[in-house]
A and B are shown apart, each in its own frame.
Chain A
Amino acid sequence: MQKYWHVINVGIQNTLVYRANFFFRSAFSLIPLFATISLWRAIYSGNGGAAIAGYTLAQMISYYLVVTIVDAFTAVAEDDWQIAADIKDGNISQFLQKPIDYLTYRLCLYGAGRIIFILCSVVPVGLFLYYQRASFVVPADAATYGWFALSLVFTALLQFLISYTMALLAFWVQEVSTFIFILYAFEYAAGGHVFPLDLLPAPVLKALYCTPFPYQLFFPVNIYLGRTTGVALYQGLVVQAAWVVAMYFLARFVWSRGIRKYSAVGG
C-alpha cells in the first residue's frame, strides 16, 4: 500500500508543474459557462419566467454550476492521452517487471491530478459561484450532501475506468485520439454537459439511462438539485455502483488481452 502513497506523492509533485495551466483552464472554461447561462436567461425572460421541464431559472443556472463543480472533481484531463502514449512508446514494459499494478498506479495519478486541479480552480470557480450566488440553490438537508458525495466518488471511478479502457485501445490501433474524441462527444452530450438530460423526450432519456453516460455526470447533479430522491435515488446509486464494477472488470479484461498483444517497442 505504501508504494501507492509514493505514487500519489510523486503525482502531486509532477502535476504541480501544470498549476498555471490548470488555473487558466478552469478560468477560461467560465467564459462558455457564462455564455450558456446568458442564453438561458434570455430564454426564460422570453417566456415570462415559466419553468422549463420543471426547472426554474435558478435551478437551470444551478444545474450548469453544479456540472462545473462535478467536472472539477471528476473530469479526466490528460490521463487517457498519457496512458495511450505509455503503451505506444513502450513505457509500460517497466511496470510488467515491477510489483506495481498499472491500473492502481494510474488511478493514483488521476487522484493526484484532481487534487491539484481542484486547488487551482477554487479561486476562479469560487468567485464565479459567488457572483452567481443569487441563482445558486443549495440542497435542503445534509443527507443530500452525503448522497451527492457518494455519487461523486462513483462518478470519478466511472470516468476514470471508461477513459482507461478506451486508452488501452492503443494496444491495437496506432491513433487512439480519434476514438477518444468520439467518446468525449458522447460523454459530453449523453452525460448532460450541454443541457439537462430531462429536457429530452422521455423515451430518449429512458434509452440513455441504459448507458453509463448519465451516471458520469447527470446523476450526481440531479441528486444535488434534489430532483432524484427516495427509491429512485437508492436504485440509481446501485446501478451506478454496478457500472463501476462492470467497467472495472472490463478494464482488467481488456488489459490482459492487450498485454498478450503487446510487443515492447525497441525490444
Chain B
Amino acid sequence: MNSTPDNSRPAAPSTLRRYFGIYTMLWRNALVREMGFKVNFILWIFVEMLWFALQLAFIAVIYSHTDRIDDWSQWQVVLLMSTGHFVQQIFTAMFLSNCVQVSDHIRTGRLDFMMLLPANLRFLLSFRVVDFGAFINAASAIAVMIYAGSKLGLSPSAVQVLGFLLLCVASLLVHYSLMFLLTTTSFWTVKAQGVVWGYYNLFNLARLPDSVFKGGFKVFFTFVLPMLLVANVPAKLIVQKLNSPLEMLLLVAMSLACFAVSEALWRFSLKRYTSASS
C-alpha cells in the first residue's frame, strides 16, 4: 500500500504535512456538504441542546430536594456534566459518524476502494467527515462550565486549564478508541445495529459523580471501560477534588491502553477481512 515504511523510522515531517493536507481537504468537503442541509443542521443543534438542558434540569430537580450527592454540590455536578458533554460533543464532531459509517463501508464494499488509496486506512476511516454542529454544542458546554465555575467561585490557574484540556484530549481518545473498537466488530456481525445506542448508554455513566458507585461496578467502569474517568478526572482537577494526582495518570494510561487494544483488534480484523462480495 503505502511506500513510506512508517514503523522503521520516525514519521518524516513531509508525511505529517501530507496527512495534514488531506485532513484540511476533508474538513472543507464536510463543510460544503453540511451547508447543503441548513435547516437540518440547525435542528440537530437544537436536539442536542434539548437533551443537555434535560440533564441539567434533572440535576436542578434533584438538588431542589437535597443539597449534596455524596460529597458533590450542585454546581460541581453541573461542571462535571458539562465536562462530559464537552468531551462527547468534540468526539461527535470529529469521530462519531465516521465510526458509525465503518459498517456501511464494509457492507457496500467501499472499504475495498478505500484500501487502494495511498494513505493510512484507519486515518481515512476515522477522519472522513466532520460534524460542525457538534462544535457549537461543545461551545455551549463550555459556557455552562464557565457559569458553574463562577457559581463555585473558582478561578483556575493557567496550568489547571491546560491540564484540564490535556485530560480532555485523553478522554477524547478513550471515546474514540472504544467506539472504534465497537465498530470493528462489524467485520463479523456485518450490521452493527445498536452500536450507537450502546455507546450512548455507556457514556451517559460518565456524567455521574464517580463516588456514587461502589464495588465491582466501579472497578469495571474504571479499569476495563474507563467511563468513570473520562469526565470525572478533568472536572475534579478544576474543582480541586482529586484524591491524588495518580487519578490523572490513570486516565492517561487507560486512554493509551484503550487505543492500543482498539488498534490491535483493528489489525487483527483487517488481516482476516475478505471483501464484501466475494
A residues near B (Cβ < 8 Å) are 21, 24-25, 28-29, 31-32, 34-35, 38-39, 41-43, 46-47, 52-53, 175, 178, 181-182, 185, 188-189, 194-195, 199-201
Contacts and interface: CB of A to CB of B under 8 A. Distances in A.
B194 A189 contact: no
A178 B179 CA distance: 23
B198 A24 contact: yes
B54 A194 contact: yes
Given A189-B57, A199-B61, A200-B61, A42 B50 contact: no
B201 A32 contact: yes
B193 interface: yes
8 contacts: A31-B205, A32-B204, A32-B205, A41-B212, A42-B211, A175-B40, A188-B54, A195-B62
A38 B211 CA distance: 10
B217 interface: yes
Q: Is the interface of A mostly helix, strand, loop or mixed?
A: helix
B94 interface: no
Interface residues of B, number: 34
B69 A42 contact: yes
Contacts of B68: 46
A28 B69 contact: no
A32 B229 CA distance: 16
Given A24-B198, A25-B197, A32-B201, A195 B69 contact: no
Contacts of A46: 66, 68-70
Contacts of A47: 66
Contact of B217 (A34, A42, A53, A199): A34
B46 interface: yes
Contacts, number: 80
A189 B43 contact: no
B209 to A, nearest CB: 8
B159 interface: no
Interface string B57-68: 110011011101
Nearest to A174: B40
Given A21-B193, A185-B50, A189-B54, A52 B205 contact: no
Nearest to A41: B212
B205 A35 contact: yes
Interface in B55-105: 57-58, 61-62, 64-66, 68-70
B25 interface: no
Contacts of A182: 43, 46-47, 50
Contacts of B43: 178, 182
Contacts of A194: 54, 58
Contacts of B50: 182, 185
